[in-house]
Amino acid sequence: MIYLILFWEFFQIGTFAVGGGLAAIPFLFSMADRYPWFTHEMLANMIAVSEVAPGPIGVKMSTYAGFSAAGIPGSIAATMGLIAPGVIMMLLVVRVLSAVNENKYIQNAFYGLRPAVTALIAWAALEIARFTILDFSQLPDRLSMSVLPLSLLAALILASKYIKWVSPLMMISAAAVVGVVLRF
């Protein structure tokens, strides 16, 4: 029965989290509240690891959640539930869009989805910040320790726009170092 629940929950996420894996994060936080499969803190760690590992973040998060709920069969059920709506929708969209490609209403509908996706991703960023940087119980200690590493990370990110040798790998490595410094 847990496999059907996992499939259904992730089928819903795959259906309604338009915009990719980061747009699925609010749904995962809601799932953490309803089921004992993972906690909010586990979810924050899972997102950090999923961002660094190659591949689609939504698939990695569904696999992790399914595994923590019901082992390998659970990870398969959750992952299949997440990707099934995308496969079904893509087959339908290709068929329909090829017939109505120039329709202004279809183009306006896709344009209208952009703010909703942006809002979901912004909410996810704030929720993750609340668990990582803004742990209010330890804020005075962390704030004094984190000013220099966060300043260096911000400088590196800003420099990446103007200096071509600053690679995404350097930014990820710097963020990992900042994370280690802030946790100690």
| Residues 77 and 158 placed together within one structural domain of the fold | no
> 111: which 2 tokens?
């344009």
| Residues 93 and 11 placed together within one structural domain of the fold | yes
State the chain's mean pLDDT as an integer.
77
| Residues 40 and 65 placed together within one structural domain of the fold | yes
| Residues 114 and 72 placed together within one structural domain of the fold | yes
How many distinct structural domains can be found in the chain?
Answer: 2
DSSP labels, 132-149: HT--GGGHHHHHHHHHHH
| Residues 16 and 98 placed together within one structural domain of the fold | yes
Nearest CA to 86 out of 31, 28, 16, 7 is that of 16
**Model-level pTM?**
0.56
| Residues 127 and 141 placed together within one structural domain of the fold | no
| Residues 115 and 141 placed together within one structural domain of the fold | no
Predicted confidence band of residue 9 (pLDDT cuts 50, 70, 90)? very high
| Helix-helix angle 25-34:57-100, to 10 degrees | 130
Residue 11 has pLDDT above 70, yes or no: yes
| Residues 88 and 170 placed together within one structural domain of the fold | no
Residue type at position 62: S
| Residues 90 and 174 placed together within one structural domain of the fold | no
Please tell me whether residue 3 adopts helix, strand or coil conformation.
helix
What is the domain range of residue 110?
A: 2-132
